[in-house]
Amino acid sequence: MMKARVTVTLKNGVLDPQGQAIEGSLSSLGFGGVSGVRQGKVFDLVLDGTDEAAARTQLTGMCEKLLANTVIENYQIEISN
C-alpha cells in the first residue's frame, strides 16, 4: 500500500475571492503583514499496490477527471510508502 497527497491550487492569475476574504479576516484579527493569500485543496489517499509509476498514472487520471479543474487549477502529487 502507498499513501498519496494531491495538492490542488489555483493557477497564477486566477482570481481567488476566498483567499482575499481570508487575508482580510487575518488582518482584522490582528495578523498584519500577510498578503497574497491563496486557498487550495488537499486530498490524502491510500492506494493498493507498490508500483509508484502506476500509482502516479492513476493519480494523474484522478486529477484530470475529478480532483482538479485543470482550466483554472494546478495539482501536485506526492507519493510515499
39-57 pLDDT, tens digit each: 999 999 999 999 999 999 9
> Which residues lie below 8 Å from residue 70, measured CB to CB, with a gap of 6+?
63, 64
pLDDT confidence of residue 78:
98
Q: pTM for the full model?
A: 0.88
What is the C-alpha separation between 44 and 31, in angstroms, rounded?
Answer: 29
Identify whether the C-beta of residue 5 lies closer than 8 Å to the C-beta of residue 43.
yes
Residues 61-76, mean pLDDT to the nearest whole number: 98
Average per-residue pLDDT in the chain?
A: 96
Summarised one tens digit per residue, pLDDT across range 18-42 is 999 999 999 999 999 999 999 999 9
Q: Which residues is 80 bridged to in the sheet?
A: 3
Q: Name the grid cell of 75.
A: 495539482
What is the C-alpha separation between 25 and 12, in angstroms, rounded?
Answer: 22
